[in-house]
Structure formats: C-alpha cells, structure tokens
Structure 1
C-alpha cells in the first residue's frame, strides 16, 4: 500500500508540474514578441494599431501570448529583449523602430519578423531589398513626405533664410531623412546647418546653440527627439524659433506643424501582414515593405504655438487638424 501511495503521489506531482509549466496555454497558442524602442506617441500608435488589428483578426489573450517589451531607448536592452524572444521560441516578432528592428534581425534568421517605424529597412541593413526582402524580415516603413514638410516650412515661414536640421546622429532612419531634408532645402534655396544630438542630456544644449543662428528647426521622425520634443520646444519657442517636425505627436509636444503619416494605420497594416504569415503561410522573404500613400498623410498645426510665435496660418490650411496646448 505504501509503495502504491508513493507512485500515486509522484504521478499527481508530475501532472501538477506539467500544469504549472504550461498554464492555460495549449499547443494552438500563438506567441508574439513585441519590442518597442521607446515610449512616445508615434511608436505607441504603431503598437496600438497592431494590437487592434490582430484583435479584429481574432488574436486575443485567449489564444495568443503577447510579450510586450519596451527597451527604454537603450540599444543593450534591445539585444537582451531580442535574445529573450528567440529563446522563448516565439512564432512572430514585431519590432517598432530601427534599433529594435536591427537587434531582432541580428538575433534570428528563422523567426518571422515584422518591423514598423523604420524609414528604409534596406538602407538600415534589415532586409536585402525593400521590394524583395529575401529573408525572415518584412513590415512597414514610416518614410515621411520630407519634401512636402519642407514645402510646409516655406508656406508657414516664408521669411526663413536658414534652417537647422536637427536629429540624433546614432539613428540610421534620422540620417536618411536629414539627407532628404537637406537636399530639399538646397533645391528651395534655403541655407541649412546640421544640429546633431547624441543623447537626451544634450538636447537642451544643442537647441540653445541655435539661438540667433537659425530662423527655424526641422526635425524628422527621430525617436530620441520625439521622446524629448518638449525639451526642444521649451527653448526654441521661447526664443522665437519654430519647429517643423516629422509627426503629429511632436506637434502635440511643442512643434509648430507637420505633414505626417498615421502610425496607427501603419500598425494595422503590420497586423494584416502578421495574419498573412501566421494563417496563410506567407514568407516575409516574398512580402515587400509596405508604405502609406500621400492621401494617408495629415496636416497638423499647433495653434497655441503659432499664436505664441505670431505666425499667421494661411487660409488654405483651414482644414488642418488644429492642436491647442497649454502655453
């Protein structure tokens, strides 16, 4: 009897361990790792659009494990998180922003990866070619209409003679956009100078160095500066230097205006790609990087900042999305 009791107890213990290790998950559970470089409006919307798109497609917490990780704008954190997803054997990884995408692409060549908030995946070394990725990575690009944004600068600030192109020197996506902006400024006959920041602690100092030297600042969809936009605006607006920026979240935090893309819609597009991979068996290698059309871009103006700087908003911008913020 004692021997039978021990055998029965061992069986119960083993079953308990299996239950604890597996939880409520089954073999049909999908595991999706999500890495977001930093927390700011554009990247948050790219995450929310993705999650809502998957929920609409039937992926919920009942049948899917979503492992969301924020890297706090730290490259070493990106690597650690990427390694975790690979070790966990995730079915798909969603990477938001270039440094996060680069880390997961380097960590695995097997797990399907979808990227978002990456200006040029090919130029950033994430895929072989944007039209034919050729590996385990595809996704959506947040390439903004830089030329149109420079046109917007000219329309709102017709007297601007010199513009600072401000960005983080370590972000590949920002370098690409900065070069595009500088080319557009050259074509417009506007003088420019680069103003690069290395980390958040240098934002205020770099902005202060522009006082009395430039008439405006152009900032692309730069993750570091999107996160620190209020620090830029605090200095620039107080000294009469308006900022034309890459996306609407930066306008909310003190930028004057943007003609920018919808990051929430980009997230939805990435969710559609995820469903195609998980349900239809499509390979990222054969899925071109997708882009938003010009019709999906939105003109956003910070009315409070315009009034503070004495800038008259042209009548043709009457249909723009107007933001009012605390002075």
Structure 2
C-alpha cells in the first residue's frame, strides 16, 4: 500500500512538471508581434511609392507583415480630422512605432505620441522648419527618419535648358503644405539669385487649381511645380490648362512627370520610403531616435515625358535624352 501511494505521488509530480513545461512553451510560441502604424495623408503616386518602400525596408530587416510584425496602414484621404483620429488609434493599440507619410501626417503622429512612441518621418521636407525635430543631426526626443530635399538648382538649370526662351517662371504651391511652400519659396530665391523673373501663385486646395492655373498660364512662359501634395494631386488639371497655352510644366517628382509634366530630376520616392523602413527596423531593434540623424536624399534621376514634349513642340537636348536613357526614366 505504501509503495502504491509513493508511486502515485511520483507520477503526479512528473505530470505537474510536464504540464508546466507545456504551458511555458505555449506562452513563448504565442508571443505578441509589434505593431507598426503607417499614416498617409492621401492617395497619389508619390506617397503610394513611399508607402511601398517603407514596407519593403521593414521586410528586408526581417519585419514581415502578418508574421513578425503587424502593419496597420491608414490613409486619411486628405481629411485633416482623419489624421487626428487615426493617430490616436495607433496610440490606443499600443503601436511600437509609427510612420508619417507627408508632413501633416507626421505632425499628427508627433502630437498623438506626446514624445513617447517613436515616430518615423518618411521623406518629409524641412522637418526642423515644420517643428518636428530640433536638427537633422540630433533630432531629439522620439522622432527621426528621412527627408527628400529636392535638387532645386538642378531643376532651374533643367528648365532653362528645355525652355531657353522663358523670361518669367510661374511657381505654384499649396498654402497649407509646409513642404510645398518651403520648396516654392526656396526655388524663388534661387531664381532671383540667377537673375530669372518669377511669379508666385497659391492654391488653398485642389479645387482652386483650374482658376489659378488659367491666370498663371496667361502670365508666364513656364511653370515650376514643387514637391507639394496639393499640386501633385491636381497635376492633371494644371497640365490640361497649361497645355492649351503651350506653357511647359517642370515638376519636382517623377510621378508628376508621368501625370503630364515635361521633365525633372527626381528623388526616387520608393527608395526614400525603403530607407525609412530600414531605419524603422533599427528603432524596433532598440536604436534610440533622439540621436539617430535624419537621412537626406538629394540626388535625382532624369525623368522625361516624350508625349508631353511633342504636344508642346519641344525637342529634348541630346544630353538630356542620353541621361534619361542611361539611368533615368522615359515616359512615352
């Protein structure tokens, strides 16, 4: 009898230990993956390309959506109130990190994070000027990422090469877009330094483009469209007006050339997003944001639109064609 009781005690002890091990193993195997919130201001090709790049950059460092990370992608569709609601949603679900595509999205995320949750900037123009960081080298607090600085002087050189007869340049931007205003006014300063006449035009939203474009096209010889979300979204409207007046548009981004611009030297938006994703992966692995320098891409690739040149009666110089064929993009 005593032997039977002893054997039973040993059996129950072993069973308890095995059950404990099983529970521990199950707990380990169901470890929660981190959530990354991606907030995009609106839909248009340049911002969409940045989004795809962010996902690719994270994946390259082992953060695969649905497996090792949960990516919560939200698009505000240009509605400022959506930005606030979506940013707060990320905080409510305890996102490990958030990514802002376009300045208003980044600003909304920064406000919601309250200097706590890391915020990655995805190709934000002039992040220090918009109050997001202290400086490119030492961002401070919880924000870092990438900035796509347009090669503005190269854009002016290209414009003068393609439209040598241009005497007055129209520069258009959206009043609510900090990056667009920054680029437009900086381009205007370069024009002044180079002895080129210019006129600044503004839209408050895409609904203004038709009327403003008609006024501008009647008073300028060429148009510069900076990296500006509002202008990019209304690019087809702008071009439909300027084409009738035979006024070429030199935009800042390759996707704007595809939408009807003549040519540009464009920072690759996908690569900008990919670099952001790679930096985000490092932050997820523990790298501090406060002294993680902003990475700036300024080198552009030649992008031309042959169909647009034909409509305007413009012939691309051999040097421009050669560069576009060698390492750029040609839209036919």
C-alpha displacement of 1:291: 0.9
Contact 1:147 1:180 in 2 (8 A): no
Q: 1:113 matched to which residue of 2?
A: 119
Question: CA distance change for structure 1 residues 186 and 314 in 2, over 3 Å: closer, same or farther?
Answer: same
Question: CA distance change for structure 1 residues 231 and 258 in 2, over 3 Å: closer, same or farther?
Answer: same
CA distance in 1, matches of 2:124, 2:61: 24
Q: 2:13 matched to which residue of 1?
A: none
Question: CA distance change for structure 1 residues 322 and 237 in 2, over 3 Å: closer, same or farther?
Answer: farther
Q: 1:241 matched to which residue of 2?
A: 247
CA distance in 1, matches of 2:63, 2:123: 22
Structure 1, gaps ≥5 residues long: 1-24
C-alpha displacement of 1:72: 0.7
TM-score, scaled relative to structure 1: 0.88
Query: Which secondary structure does the structure 2 equivalent of 1:210 belong to?
Result: helix
Q: Is residue 2:270 matched to residue 1:304?
A: no
Q: 2:205 matched to which residue of 1?
A: 199
C-alpha displacement of 1:88: 1.2
Query: Which secondary structure does the structure 2 equivalent of 1:176 belong to?
Result: helix
Query: Which secondary structure does the structure 2 equivalent of 1:319 belong to?
Result: helix
Contact 2:60 2:278 in 1 (8 A): no
CA distance in 2, matches of 1:123, 1:129: 9
Alignment RMSD (CA, Å)? 1.3
Query: Which secondary structure does the structure 2 equivalent of 1:79 belong to?
Result: helix
Q: Is residue 2:261 matched to residue 1:255?
A: yes
C-alpha displacement of 1:322: 4.9
C-alpha displacement of 1:56: 2.1
Q: Moved runs in structure 1, 4+ residues, more than 4 A?
A: none
Contact 2:257 2:304 in 1 (8 A): yes
Query: Which secondary structure does the structure 2 equivalent of 1:67 belong to?
Result: strand
TM-score, scaled relative to structure 2: 0.87
Q: Is residue 2:53 matched to residue 1:46?
A: no
The residue correspondences of 1:104-143 to structure 2 (distance < 5 A) are: 104-108=109-113, 109-143=115-149
Query: Which secondary structure does the structure 2 equivalent of 1:285 belong to?
Result: coil
Query: Which secondary structure does the structure 1 equivalent of 2:132 belong to?
Result: coil
CA distance in 2, matches of 1:52, 1:196: 35
Q: Is residue 2:317 matched to residue 1:314?
A: yes
Computing the radius of gyration from Cα coordinates, the structure with the larger value is 2
Q: Is residue 2:78 matched to residue 1:73?
A: yes
Q: Is residue 2:154 matched to residue 1:148?
A: yes
Contact 2:50 2:271 in 1 (8 A): yes
1:28 is matched with which residue: 29, 32, 35? Answer: 32
Q: Deviations over 1:139-164 (max 9, x none)?
A: 00011101110111111111100011
Question: CA distance change for structure 1 residues 224 and 236 in 2, over 3 Å: closer, same or farther?
Answer: same
CA distance in 1, matches of 2:189, 2:230: 23
How many equivalent pairs are there? 298
Contact 2:171 2:200 in 1 (8 A): yes
Q: 2:176 matched to which residue of 1?
A: 170
